[in-house]
Structure 1
Amino acid sequence: MPVTLHHTDTGGEGMPLVIVHGLLGSADNWRSHIKQWRESWRVIAVDLRNHGRSPHTDGMAYQAMAEDVMELLQQLEIDRAHLLGHSMGGKVVMSMARLAPEKVASLMVADIAPLAYGHDHEAIFAGLRRLEEGEPANRSEADAMLAEYVAESSTRMFLATNLVRGDQGGLRLRVGLDEIEAGYADIMAEPAGEGAFRGPSLVLRGSRSHYVSDAALPALHEVLPDVRVVTLDAGHWLHAECPEAFQSAVKEFLTPL
């Protein structure tokens, strides 16, 4: 059964642009981009299951997450849309494009390839468990707890976006950490569906990220034969590290469509 996803919707006319965040992200991470893109498109940003304000439930398979988003679009009476997904969200939108290509006007994927990846989030999960156990009173305490496991301050700041004020006054995680960890193997797997999406596609990759290396390009072209690959001077969170270049690349791709 699909999950009813929390989402933001700017309204407006024209072809909708649907944004799907990555692992441990949320629609909130895209606020500055939404402000820019809402001038040209109706923008819908979703919280995937077990993320943001969406319900917690078992299962993180890409078919299930893609069906969640497609169910939301049906509820919004949207027959066709541009899709943009970062990392895990990129695999969700690739799955949607394979499962229901007639619903996809164009596909934009940020720093992920249609490949299975190794497990490299152990330290992050350990840091989040530390937050669960420690119940930090404020964000400074939370950062100190995360720093026991996660060295990069930018990564800690990103993870801290999952903290909200609890009923008892302290900070708590809003992600379904149990469900995400249980479904981690599915998150690292290939997108759902088979064959290629032959519509217009854009892949944005970070020059300092390993997720879309040159070695991954043959697999990328196999799944997205009409793809344009743009490399930005950034790491994996390229939309946060170089927002203007990211916005510009998306607008340049979408404007003629």
Structure 2
Amino acid sequence: MTINYQSMGEGKPLIIIHGLFGTSDNLKAVARELSDEHKVYLIDAPGHGDSDTVVPLSIANMANAVSDFIKQLNVGPVQILGHSLGGKIAMEIALANPELISKLIVADIAPVQYKPRHDDIISSLQAVPLSTLENRKDADEILARKINEPGVRSFLLKSLVRDKSKPGEWMWRFNLDQLSSDYNELIKSNREGTYSGPTLFIIGSESSYVLPEHRGEIVGRFPNTKAKTINGAGHWLHAERSVAFVKICRDFLSE
């Protein structure tokens, strides 16, 4: 199992994990800001970017793969920051292997069972004819049939690239077939257990991913936790309010 990553900076190790359908580039601006004090490892989550895929593509299996990567780094306990699906993976690592994690930051996700909310995105991605597609504009028009938000389409299209192994064809930089097949695994709650290390939840005030009714499941698993809300930010809080997001992370990591 190979985890692809980028690294930058020097200092205490910090692992950053992106969300569903993303790559290690998604939080690169955050990584650059934090790399003045930390050795930052931006990873492609399993089944994304240039990392291998685990089968099934479950939270537990993804967390095990990233845990093995952390052990291979051989740098001692690491700080970890995960956004959305990356936050689920980060929480699972902390609950399953607390000795690997010195501090945990979870960006706009809770350790709870979620209802499906990506059906239109998955079906839209599947509708793009990769073997005959002419250009990105045509792909955007296909996605726009069900995905109204230009920002979401733009994010997805960042992972649409030419397939070097098949001249003239395109490919997604995530394993769409496996993500689709195992989607119900990705929205399950995190395992039971406790991580007592310092934990921070960063929440977008306009997001529906972390709600007041989730507090019990959060505190039950992460008793040493605090929460910060970024006003005016939605689920993509690290991009929408980047200055505030970086400051909150920096303050917590320096405590």
TM-score, normalised to structure 1, is 0.93
Asked if the contact 2:130–2:171 (Cα under 8 Å) also holds between the matched residues in 1, the reply is: no
Number of equivalenced pairs: 252
Please give the secondary structure, in 2, of the residue aligned with 1:141.
Answer: helix
Quickly say closer, same or farther: Cα 1:132–1:173, change in 2 above 3 A: farther
Match of 1:160 in 2: 157
1:79-228 superposed matches below 5 A: 79-133=76-130, 135-167=132-164, 168-192=167-191, 194-228=192-226
Q: Deviations over 1:23-53 (max 9, x none)?
A: 1111111111111111110000111111011
Match of 2:44 in 1: 47
CA distance in structure 2 between the aligned counterparts of 1:11 and 1:191, rounded to whole angstroms: 31
Match of 1:250 in 2: 249
Asked if the contact 1:117–1:188 (Cα under 8 Å) also holds between the matched residues in 2, the reply is: yes
Asked if the contact 2:200–2:227 (Cα under 8 Å) also holds between the matched residues in 1, the reply is: yes
CA distance in structure 1 between the aligned counterparts of 2:171 and 2:129, rounded to whole angstroms: 7
Superposition deviation, residue 86 in structure 1: 0.7
Please give the secondary structure, in 2, of the residue aligned with 1:42.
Answer: strand
Superposition deviation, residue 184 in structure 1: 0.8
The gaps in structure 1 that reach 5 residues or longer are none
CA distance in structure 2 between the aligned counterparts of 1:121 and 1:246, rounded to whole angstroms: 25
Superposition deviation, residue 161 in structure 1: 1.6
Asked if the contact 2:12–2:37 (Cα under 8 Å) also holds between the matched residues in 1, the reply is: no
**Percent identity over the alignment?**
34
Q: Which residue, 58, 68, 71 being the options, matches 2:68?
A: 71
Asked if the contact 1:132–1:173 (Cα under 8 Å) also holds between the matched residues in 2, the reply is: no
The gaps in structure 2 that reach 5 residues or longer are none
CA distance in structure 2 between the aligned counterparts of 1:123 and 1:247, rounded to whole angstroms: 31
Superposition deviation, residue 96 in structure 1: 0.7
- Matched AA of 2:17: V
With 129-138 and 214-223 compared, the bigger mean Cα shift is at 129-138
- Matched AA of 2:206: R
CA distance in structure 1 between the aligned counterparts of 2:239 and 2:154, rounded to whole angstroms: 12
- Matched AA of 2:163: G
Asked if the contact 2:87–2:107 (Cα under 8 Å) also holds between the matched residues in 1, the reply is: yes
Asked if the contact 1:15–1:80 (Cα under 8 Å) also holds between the matched residues in 2, the reply is: no
Match of 2:8 in 1: 10
- Matched AA of 1:234: A
Asked if the contact 2:54–2:61 (Cα under 8 Å) also holds between the matched residues in 1, the reply is: no
TM-score, normalised to structure 2, is 0.94
Superposition deviation, residue 134 in structure 1: 6.8
CA distance in structure 2 between the aligned counterparts of 1:57 and 1:197, rounded to whole angstroms: 25
With 99-108 and 135-144 compared, the bigger mean Cα shift is at 135-144
With 71-80 and 43-52 compared, the bigger mean Cα shift is at 71-80
CA distance in structure 2 between the aligned counterparts of 1:246 and 1:32, rounded to whole angstroms: 11
CA distance in structure 1 between the aligned counterparts of 2:129 and 2:94, rounded to whole angstroms: 36
Superposition deviation, residue 133 in structure 1: 4.7
Superposition deviation, residue 57 in structure 1: 4.0
Q: Deviations over 1:169-193 (max 9, x none)?
A: 453212111111111111000123x
CA distance in structure 2 between the aligned counterparts of 1:133 and 1:38, rounded to whole angstroms: 37
Asked if the contact 1:131–1:172 (Cα under 8 Å) also holds between the matched residues in 2, the reply is: no
